[in-house]
Amino acid sequence: MSALAVKDLSKAFGGLKVTRGVSLDIAPGERRLIIGPNGAGKTTLFNLITGELTPDSGSIHLFGQDITKTPSRQRPHLGMARTYQIITLFARDTIIHNVLLALLGLSTARWNPITDIKHQGHLVEHGRAALERVGLAAIAERPLSQTSYGERRRVEIAMALAQNPKVLLLDEPFAGLSIDERRDVHKCLMAIPRDVTIVMIEHNMDVALEFAERITLLHFGEVIVEGTRAEVVDNPRTREVYLGH
């Protein structure tokens, strides 16, 4: 059974076709890299998979379950989590509070309007454990506004991991990072156990190729090359539309 199966997924905005019959079959535990030039439809594909956009046609299955029409708010309960290309965190809150908000979305405590999540011991413990996984537990009480860009990227990853996902979607986790920050984020990702399937969009090929086992190349919303690292890098179409030689 596939961890994530996308079949003939298409989406258009007016006359602009952003994804055109995209199909993916991602095995449990796989590390899949999605690449393509700007405008290839990569983030739109993620938004379709997570339910933030509704496909015009096609289907999405998560471990065999058809989730094509499942609301986006329910998909984390089924084992799906993601990060975003543009960091979307609460800068005035502490690191731990940001992680607790992610956990609250999966807790029945979210229905209580007077819940003080700081006093939800099991959530706090879980949140700190997630920060430990990304090397930020020591600064959990620091306001997010006092952190570096690379630390904020790791906070986003901690928020996603705190939800115990089976499938984790990462949208350009290395974007804008320094060499040292890329090393820290790469270390976090390599430590994620194989019971989590990871699909990653990334432009930094040096880091991404080391991480990925299979690669899918999108161009104008279509899959034009797919295979192992060696197969995709050596394919003339890859050099033509993405590597530039």
Its domain, for residue 183, covers 1-79+166-245
Output the average pLDDT for the chain. 89
Let me know whether 99 and 206 are in one domain: no
Q: Reduced to 3 DSSP states, what percent helix, strand and coil does the chain have, rounded to the nearest 5?
A: 40, 25, 35
C-alpha span between 168 and 99 (Å, rounded): 16
Q: Is the model more confident about 1 or about 109?
A: 1
Q: What is the CATH number of the domain that holds 11?
A: 3.40.50.300
CB burial of 175-198 (b: ≥16 within 10 Å; e: otherwise) equals bebeeebbebbbebbeebeeebbb
What is the spatial order of strands in the sheet that 214-219 belongs to? 80-82, 167-171, 197-201, 31-35, 214-219, 222-228
How many structural domains comprise the chain? 2
Of 164, 192, 208, the position where a domain reaches its end is: 164
What is the predicted pLDDT for the residue at 245? 52
Q: Which of 134, 164, 194 is the last residue of a domain?
A: 164
Same domain for 244 and 170: yes
Element containing residue 25 per DSSP (H, E): strand 16-26
In the predicted structure, residue 134 carries a pLDDT above the cut 80? yes
Percent of the chain whose predicted confidence (pLDDT) is above 90: 65
Same domain flag for 148 and 182? no
Regarding whether 172 and 157 lie in a shared domain, the answer is: no
pLDDT tens figures, 169-189: 999 999 888 989 988 989 999
The pLDDT of residue 156 is: 93
pLDDT tier at 208, thresholds 50, 70, 90? confident
Same domain, 70 and 120: no
Residues 14 and 133 in one domain: no
CA distance 7 to 67: 12
Lowest mean pLDDT among 2-6, 17-21, 145-149, 239-243: 239-243
- Of residues 82 and 106, the one with the higher pLDDT is 82
Sign of the Cα pseudo-torsion (48, 23, 201, 16, in order): negative
Q: Count how many residues are written for the chain.
A: 245
Strand, coil or helix: 81? strand
Overall average pLDDT of the 145-163 stretch = 93
| Residue of 126, 104, 129, 103 lying closest to 115 (CA atoms) | 104
- 72 and 172 in a single domain? The answer is yes
The 10s digit of each residue's pLDDT in 43-78 is 999 999 999 999 999 999 999 999 999 999 999 999
Q: Are residues 158 and 190 in the same domain?
A: no
Contact assessment for residue 208 and residue 202, using Cβ atoms and an 8 Å cutoff: yes
| CB 188 within 8 Å of CB 211 | no
| Boundary residue ending a domain (138, 164, 190) | 164
